[in-house]
Amino acid sequence: MSPTNHKKSNVIRLLESRRIPYQVYTYAPDIRSAEEVAPVLGFPPHEVYKTLVVLPPRGRPLLVLIPGPSVLDLKGLAQAIGEKKLRMATHREAEDLTGLQVGGISALALLDRGFQIYLERSAEKLSTFVVSAGQRGMNVCLRVDDFLRLTKARFVAASVDRENV
């Protein structure tokens, strides 16, 4: 699928205001998993990242971006960031904490909201990747470097391939 005309989301406005190159991709909003989105948009699954909300025992929630076909390694993430224990937010908690619907949670839509943002280390090998544009049915493709600069995300080894679970 090629980039499409779209209604501008806050993420699109942000990227444009910072003059960051991007491409918007839209798809049926009932598709919620990054793995299902990848073939619809014509990207390899490992280039489409999902944003997960993770809760430490104390403090602000974390946003962790991992490739669609991967599974979050909570123990590995906790160890990497110096926490004893972490847990995934439920769908309801994730939506309440972010103000966004699951399937449309975007680190780019949540800048300056106090979330620590982590990006799976495998993204270091990519020049561009696809992430949520802040609403279901809309993603953006942008340079990993631009994402890091905007979000102040830190690389972390936070996932394992689904086949290795």
Q: Which residue has the higher pLDDT, 2 or 114?
A: 114
- Give pTM, 2 decimals: 0.92
Query: Hunting for tokens 């890091």 — which residue is that?
Result: 148
Instruction: State pLDDT tens for residues 30-57.
Output: 887 888 999 999 999 999 999 999 999 9
Mean pLDDT of 1-29: 84
Which pLDDT score is estimated for 32? 76
Cα separation, 125 vs 104, in Å, equals 25
Cα separation, 54 vs 28, in Å, equals 26
- Contacting residues for 106 by C-beta, under 8 A, at least 6 apart: 11, 51, 100, 131, 132, 133, 134
Which pLDDT score is estimated for 6? 56
- Ordered by start, the domain boundaries in the chain are 10-164
Sign of CA dihedral 97, 8, 107, 91: positive
For the 10-164 domain, the top CATH level (class) is alpha beta
Instruction: State pLDDT tens for residues 79-133.
Output: 999 999 999 999 999 999 999 999 999 999 999 899 999 999 999 999 999 999 9
